Structure 1
Amino acid sequence: MATITQIDILRHGLPEGDNCLRGHTDFALTEQGFSQMQLAVQGLKTLDTVVTSTLQRCAVFAEHIAETQNVEINYSDDWKEMDFGEWDGLTHQQLTERVGEDVDAYWYNPWQVCDDGTAPHKGETLEQFDCRIKDAWQQLLQQFKGKKILLVTHSGVMRQLLRQLFEMPQNTVYLHRINLPYAARVRITVYHDGNLDWPQLQWPPYSD
């Protein structure tokens, strides 16, 4: 029998660490950011579970909504933002001063790797990040098939997931064409038909 899994994907609200490459750096969620997230989930009811990145800019609100709706919460490092290694937590000015033109070259082609196969910043390569999100998504669908899920995560994660679901090519175009402001919320429903999954983007306003 076919089933439907509903996943509301929520980006964190405004965190501390303005104008920097946050990545895995664990900046706190601001009061404004918390309020942004509260507004974004108004009307979202009857959740079965909350899944969240372990970084506090996501986890703090995820814990709040799980407690409010009296549902379980699942923490996962797999839903963390991309690891930018030596660049992580630096402001854009610091990056320019320390790395110079190599920063621009990286953003023009973030799929590039060094001769030894590592990322220029010594963190995750975009290929590794892409694979991590793909595996996390498949695990989510297997673990919570047929459930209503709130997934609290990051803009980089959401862009990468949308790239995969809509089969966008491995270039930089999707990074510039998908705008996800703080507390952006996207709903994906997945229709499970036998061994096939049919994901569909739901356009707001969302209704339960």
Structure 2
Amino acid sequence: MPLYALRHGATPTGGFRGRLDDELTAEGWAQMHAGLTDAPAWQAIVSSPLKRCRLFAEQLASQLDLPLTLDEQLRELDFGQWEGRSASDLLADPAQADALSRFWQDPYQHPPSGGENLHAFEQRVMDAWQRHSQIAHQHTVLLVCHAGVIRQLLRLAKREPRSALMQAMVEHGSLHAIPLFAPHSH
């Protein structure tokens, strides 16, 4: 049985939002509800503590009368100096355009300035995965989290190289079935 991951919906402002704690817009709420249209019956919900995930997870857990666990390790990557800035803003800034391009090509070698190390990010996502995948062997678990976390889980499940991290499409409100896998890296 896979573990499922739902990306949060749209927030009032775009751009890199790792540690910023935005709430969802009405569109964001609708995206998340739409993402669960053909979803299985959940038995447990685990969420990032950030509002754009947590508020929806709390509402869903209450509505379905399910246990909810908040997990700090499911937070998005910390984008450091890029927090709150859009890609187009960074590309227009000569001091940042090259750094952003290098990040998209190889985020492990070129993390955002002042941001989280990608090896540390991978390890914390793997630590969360190990805990929650144990539960998923017997229960249908929904993770409510962020694009970076979902990309990392998909990459690890497919045993893709680290260079493939940025290739997965993870839209707002999208639901992803992640097959259970033994943790590894690379």
Provide the TM-score with structure 1 as the length reference.
0.78
The residue number in structure 2 matching 1:35 is: 30
The residue number in structure 2 matching 1:109 is: 106
Mapped partners of 2:162, 2:38: distance in 1: 36
For the pair shown, the structure with the greater C-alpha radius of gyration is 1
Mapped partners of 1:140, 1:93: distance in 2: 36
Equivalent of residue 175 in structure 1, options 166, 169, 172? 166
Equivalent of residue 12 in structure 2, options 13, 16, 22? 16
Residue 14 of structure 1 and its aligned partner are, at CA, apart by 1.3
The one-letter code matched in structure 2 to 1:184 is S
Distance 1:100 1:6, change over 3 A: closer
Structure showing the higher strand proportion among its residues: 1
SS in 1 for 2:29: helix
Q: Give the CA RMSD over aligned residues.
A: 2.1
The residue number in structure 1 matching 2:149 is: 157
The one-letter code matched in structure 2 to 1:149 is V
Residue 43 of structure 1 and its aligned partner are, at CA, apart by 4.5
Mapped partners of 2:69, 2:140: distance in 1: 13
Distance 1:51 1:65, change over 3 A: same
Greater CA drift, 181-190 or 89-98: 89-98
The one-letter code matched in structure 1 to 2:166 is L
Residue 174 of structure 1 and its aligned partner are, at CA, apart by 4.3
Q: Does 1:136 align with 2:132?
A: no
Conserved? CA contact 2:153–2:178, under 8 Å: no
Conserved? CA contact 2:3–2:136, under 8 Å: no
Mapped partners of 1:147, 1:99: distance in 2: 44
Mapped partners of 2:18, 2:28: distance in 1: 17
Structure showing the higher helix proportion among its residues: 2
Which ranges of structure 1 fall in alignment gaps of 5 or more residues?
114-118, 191-196, 200-208
The residue number in structure 2 matching 1:44 is: 39
Greater CA drift, 136-145 or 23-32: 136-145
The one-letter code matched in structure 1 to 2:98 is E
Provide the TM-score with structure 2 as the length reference.
0.87
Distance 1:31 1:64, change over 3 A: same
Mapped partners of 2:108, 2:43: distance in 1: 36
Distance 1:162 1:153, change over 3 A: same
Q: How many aligned positions are there?
A: 181
Mapped partners of 1:120, 1:41: distance in 2: 32
Conserved? CA contact 1:6–1:147, under 8 Å: no
Residue 163 of structure 1 and its aligned partner are, at CA, apart by 0.8
Distance 1:146 1:107, change over 3 A: same
